[in-house]
Homo-oligomer: A and B are copies of this chain.
């Protein structure tokens, strides 16, 4: 019997995260303090983020960062997530390619987001923080942080992008079961929200807007910090547990990926699966390709400009050197709420600039078509975000079918779509916009 599923024993679970900044030949340009236009210091971040995350954010020298014992213990509840050989999908496509996926949907929260949520909640707890605020799009990050803060005994307030709040009411409920306070964004509870609603009362929200509101609430609340679910370097750092495990699991399977694929919102999911393999491109001359799958109507990587910009709509964040569609950009109302973000993280932006990664632009229709094919072949209904990665993986597998090459394709199944069935309904009924 051929082995399909590879799981690491607890003793093999990585105990350090990988910080690719230390190995990058061209370091990212510094983030800037928007007031002084000087390179950002960790101290500049302390009013918003917990100290440990602030320091991790600017750490360009240490390639390996210890995962705290308490975080590792929580990881072991659900990690390693399985690496799965997608025989069903290969058969459905008739491709000679070997397709693997890392199944982050197997986390209790249903996505990879828990990897950083647990770390951030833990550091906040260590520093005596009692309240945490955040934004969420589709709700995957919000659900993860709601649970992670509960684990460490911290209160959590989530601004959920309004269109997702309405499209995906179940994710709101999930956050509430975990005891979080959930507010649709833009809201009247912050100055940023009020300004946005005054200018456009029908504003449907975006991650950029929700981030502004969450930061503002964190600033105004005693003993409260803000936690971000993607984009930033420390979030990408925490997500590298995915790729570090996958590296060992691919070894168990006796293979090494020719292509690594992930969907791309702010970049942490992509970073998580890619960076540990990219390390070997940088250090050991491996030639793996890395493909970021972004929605074609939020094409920051393929059509954005590389420039200093804010990560939020109101301009509360540091200025970041990144590929961006502009922080006032309003993404189309696609169901992949986690990808509705105008910019890309600093590290991934530099890597793209340096030609170390590629981009695939995927339409919403194509993403759901890929998601349905995958569901029938593998039994897992993927999150709309993950459907983009699947669509890109299918493109690669189809190229192999044409060329006859037995390439090894690895993609990250970042989450399941069980709470996104209204989107699938729309797709199946033919009513989905492109």
Contact = CB atoms under 8 A, between A and B. Distances in A.
A5 B77 contact: yes
A151 interface: yes
Interface in A243-287: none
A434 interface: no
Secondary structure call for the A interface = helix
A425 interface: yes
Contacts of A169: 421, 425
A380 B176 contact: no
A1 B421 contact: no
Given A106-B106, A151-B88, A170-B421, A376 B177 contact: yes
A428 interface: yes
A194 interface: no
A353 interface: no
A84 B77 contact: yes
Interface string A55-75: 000000000000001001100
Nearest to A425: B173
Contacts of A106: 106
Nearest to A1: B73
Q: What copy number does this chain have within its complex?
A: 2
Interface centre among A108, A150, A179 (most CB of B within 10 A): A108
Interface in A368-408: 372, 375-376, 378-381
Given A78-B5, A428-B176, A379 B147 contact: yes
A76 to B, nearest CB: 6
Contacts of A3: 10, 76
25 contacts: A3-B76, A4-B76, A4-B77, A7-B7, A77-B84, A77-B378, A77-B379, A78-B379, A108-B379, A108-B380, A110-B418, A169-B425, A170-B421, A170-B422, A173-B422, A173-B428, A174-B424, A176-B425, A177-B372, A177-B375, A177-B376, A177-B421, A177-B424, A177-B428, A178-B375
